[in-house]
Every structure is written in C-alpha cells, then in structure tokens.
Structure 1
C-alpha cells in the first residue's frame, strides 16, 4: 500500500503537475487549493504527508501547519516556499515541519525529501511501538489501592522535570518505578542511564559519574565519558543513593547545586542537563540523624517523594503478579504454563513476603520448573509458604522482624506483636492482659495504637 500525499497550493498548475508526477511514482494523491480545504480533507483522508505552500490567501501555510499538528502531530509536513526566506524556514521548523523545499521545484529533490520524511515517520512509528512494548514489559501491575495511588502519583510526576526520590524495601520495584517515570516523561526518547551507588568504591565515584581524560590517573588509558555526560538530556538514576560515602555525597551535592562539572583530569566545564531520580531502601531521615547522609542532599533530591509499597501492603495483587510471572516463565521455556489453585493462592496471601515482589517472582520461577501438574496446589509449595494459618502467622511475624534493618523498629514491632497475641488470648480484655503482663493499660494503648480498646 502506497503512502497518501496531500498537496496544498493555490496555484492549479502546481496541483496538476506535481500531483501527476507523484501519482506516476505510485503515491495516492489528494489536493487542496487552500488551508481551509486542506484541514477538512485531513480529518477524513488522514494523509501520511502534506506538501504545503507557505504563501496562500486566507489561511497561510504557517497557520495551516499549526492546525495540522493539532489535528495529527504524526503527519509529516514539507513546506514549499520562495527562495531564501530564512525566517519562514526557522518558524516552520520550530512548529514541526520536517523540511522546506524551495521554488522553483526540482522534482528529484521533492521525491528525495518525501522519501526521507516517510522513512523518518516509519522510524517514529517503530519507536512509539517499542516504547509501548517496553511499558507493557515493565508495567507496574496490580489493582490494589496502594498501586492505584502509586500509578496516579507517577502520572502526575512523570511529565514534569522535577527530581524524584523513590524509597522502599528491597524487592519492591524502585528501579521499575524510575524506568516507568522516564518512559512517561518528555525525555522518553533521550538516554536512561543508571549508577548503582552500592557498587562504587570511594575512589570509583569520580570516574563513574564525571568521566575522565586520558592519563588522568594510571589506569586512564583513554578518555571516558561519565554517566552524567552519557545521560545527556535524559534521565540519570542514582540507585541506592544512601550507599554513597559522605565525601562523595558532598561532590554530588555540589554538582546538583551548580549543574556543572568537569571530567577527572580535565578543565572543560560540562553541564548537567539530565533529570535526576534517586532510590534508597533505607529510612533516610534516620540516616541523617545518624550522621550518615547529608541533609542538604536529601532536600535537593526529595522534590517529589515516591514510596514503593511492600507486597504485604498490597496482597490483593499477589494473584495478578503470580499469574504474570507464571505466564512469562512458560514463554521463556521454564516449564509449561502453570496456574495457582485457590488454596495455594490463599497460602501465598497469608505469607509476609519480606523479599517482596522479587521473592514472589523467584518462587513462581521455581514452581514453574519443579511442579509437574498444570495446577499448583498447597502441597506443591515449599516451606514456609505451605504452612498452616497459625504457623504462617508465626512465620510472618518472625520474617517481618528479621527483614527490618533498624533494631529499634524490630523491638517496637515485637512489642506490638506480643501485646496483640496476649490480648487475643484474653479475648481483648485489656485489664486482664495488663494484669497478666504487669503493665499499665496505657502501655497497651500506646503499643498497639488502638485507643478504642480502652
């Protein structure tokens, strides 16, 4: 099927001669003698490319170009103009014209420019398709209230250029959130570059972030661009930002404040144009109080805070995620297509998931390979996922305690769990529980944060 080309010109001779030549080349040709007629036909005919004369009575070429881009931004527009009109060329390009063709028209040049524009259009369509597939592949799946709120926050934050700090436990998908923000941003066609701060040595930060010139240090056998330079106008992800040393945090803070830097061993000033997204699996405010993280850097990065919810707070998504992982495993040759029975899903929903989505994904891969039947039942689940409800509850409590990185948080969690179990044994009789444990009723109220029990 040949592309459809619209010619818009107030000179009948141009419409006839150019239309005939393009028809001979196999293109479907539509003509319009003015901008108003062109806009009406575009809505119904949807041409692939428009050849648009700039000088027309009524609605001129520049105004028609603006309206065409409003109707369909993907239509390629070639402006036909008189010789040497630089101002028109600049304005048309800024408004989205692919190129300009000067009169008198050279048919060979017209054909060559049309082919270039259509090739560019096909490339754009491929890129849009690939971006859609990438979004599908890395989609944030689930319908829980926590995930719905997260998706809304991403939808609001992504189109802006604001810097973002994503926090959450290991395995909650912080890098996935960062990549989704990039793909939904105006920078989606620019690079997405990540720096894993946890893997950087004290000395390795400078070369990784800033890059270096040849002979800047003994191992520098050639010039190397840093991640900040490679990111360009795209997105730079600083993964596990809290693993940076205080010294390197200071270097990073200076660059973020000044938005410029130099390669190691160089004297040329480079500009930081990338959008910054940082992630951390720690409580940064506690890190600040402990003197392990710079407060100024925290406020610089935390323009829009995003929290990745743990799987235990979105258990209604477990079935959706498990099915996606099982389907992907079958596609990738890791066993036949498996499905969870309702009883098996109930066992998984009772579990605490200290490893979050990453743990669920690993379990589904294991079950895809090791389970012979198409339906996964509770007996197919390994420990601790296959325990009785009471055993699962105890295992959950223990798993959640050991997943915490703060001793104080673990102690408080243990106290609350202990009080709740004793209350359950005493049928929620607060007075009896307080007497049994030799503590006051107010202590129970404070620990379980449930004043309605008193």
Structure 2
C-alpha cells in the first residue's frame, strides 16, 4: 500500500497544499524545504512517491533528482514545476543518463495531485504482484528438531536453492512443542491439500518427511496470482 509521500519545495504554501490534499486521502505526507533536506529525509525513511520542485535555493531540482536516483534508483519521482522550459536542457541530460521521472506543470489542481498519487499506487501494486509471483514459502512443523529432521531440513534447503533464485523462496522450521496452545488451534492444520505448482523434488522430500515420526505436519504455501495454496502432509 502506497502511503508515504515526500514533497520537496521551497514554497511553504505549495507544500501545505499538497499535504492537505493528500492527507485527506489517507497518505502520510512529509515536507522538505530544499533538495538537501529532502535527500536526508529519503535516507531516513524511503517514501513511496516524491513530488519535486525544480527552482530551489541550494541545489536545484535536477541535481536533487540525480542524487536521489543515485541513492535509490527505484524511487518514484514526479517533478512539479513552473520552470520546465528553463531547465529543459538539464532535464534532457538527466533523461539521457537513464534517470526515470515524470513531470507536470504548476499549478496542479487537487484532482491532478490525487490522480498522480493513485497512478503511482497502482504501479507499485503491480510491482509487488510481480515480485511475489512464483515465490515459494515453506513452513515445516515438527514435534522437535533432532539429527534426522535437521538432515532433512538441510536437504530441502539445498533443493530449493537449486530450483529458485535467491530471494524467491523462504523456508522456516517451527518446533510444535515450543508453540503456544492458541497457535496449535489455528486452521492451518485443517487446510485441504493443494499440491499444484510445487516442484517435484520438494514434493518427494515432503513425502519422506511425512513418514518421519517426529514430523507433525509440513505446510507449503505458494503465492501465485491472488491466491495462496497450502499443502498439509
């Protein structure tokens, strides 16, 4: 969910207008009065969207853009200015460098400000969906860890590392005897079995685990599209 927005502008009236409009929509809005302050604020807490002025005291908006992108290339930056023509050559150079940004002319109406925030929100949601596509999350519940189960855990980890790229899989092991009683009552132990999209080598190892007396349940969740699939053995 996009909720953190930073407005970098030397005009307090402009910053106040953005803050009022966006906070009414539920966004958390921070203000910076110049580029250097804005850069420091980004380093403290990464915003989901930056509204950036061009003509400011100290470093101008183009240099601020360049330094922000150098720090975090993935930042969503929307330049809002009345001086686009004055900075056009610098903006073209920034674009030629591969810096990604959007630009709009001042003044912006309240609806335009809201629409920009909403467009970035939708783009961020798509990025998150792409990032979660085919990410395997495996949680193994065992009565207690012993040498046999530890050896099997190492084998599963090795198989997953061979199938998935780093960051595309998570493998957790939970000792049931150490779980509070309320956790044991969760519905995960009654979830229907769904095994599609689970790699065959992983299924084989889960089958081996299911025959071990120390294993209570092996639960695998696969994020795929909008659904979560779970397997209980």
Q: Do both share a fold (TM > 0.5)? A: yes
Q: Measured at CA, do residues 111 and 25 of structure 1 come closer, stay the same or move farther in structure 2, by a change above 3 Å? A: same
Separation (CA, whole Å) in 2 of partners of 1:20 and 1:92 = 31
CA shift at 1:88, angstroms?
A: 4.8
Question: Aligned pair 1:129/2:132, yes or no?
Answer: yes
Q: Deviations over 1:118-165 (max 9, x none)?
A: 2212222332333766xx9x9662xxxxxxxxxxxxxxxxxxxxxxxx
Question: Aligned pair 1:100/2:70, yes or no?
Answer: no
Point out the structure with max Rg over C-alpha.
1
Which residue pairs with 1:55 in the alignment? 55
8 Å Cα contact 1:35-1:59 kept in structure 2: yes
Residue ranges of structure 1 left out of the alignment (5+ in a row): 142-175, 181-323, 331-335, 340-372, 376-454
The RMSD of aligned alpha carbons is 3.3
Which residue pairs with 2:6 in the alignment? 6
Question: Aligned pair 1:68/2:71, yes or no?
Answer: no
For residues 32-431 of structure 1, the aligned pairs below 5 Å read 32-82=32-82, 85=85, 86-94=88-96, 95-130=98-133, 141=162, 325-329=200-204, 337-339=207-209, 374=211
8 Å Cα contact 2:2-2:121 kept in structure 1: no
Higher helix share: 1
Work out the number of aligned pairs and report it. Answer: 156
Separation (CA, whole Å) in 2 of partners of 1:53 and 1:100 = 10
Separation (CA, whole Å) in 2 of partners of 1:111 and 1:71 = 26
Separation (CA, whole Å) in 2 of partners of 1:9 and 1:20 = 15
Separation (CA, whole Å) in 1 of partners of 2:48 and 2:42 = 10
Higher strand share: 2
**Secondary structure class of the residue paired with 1:25:** coil
Q: Measured at CA, do residues 102 and 78 of structure 1 come closer, stay the same or move farther in structure 2, by a change above 3 Å? A: same
**Secondary structure class of the residue paired with 2:202:** helix
Which residue pairs with 1:28 in the alignment? 28
Higher relative contact order (CA 8 A, sep 6+): 2
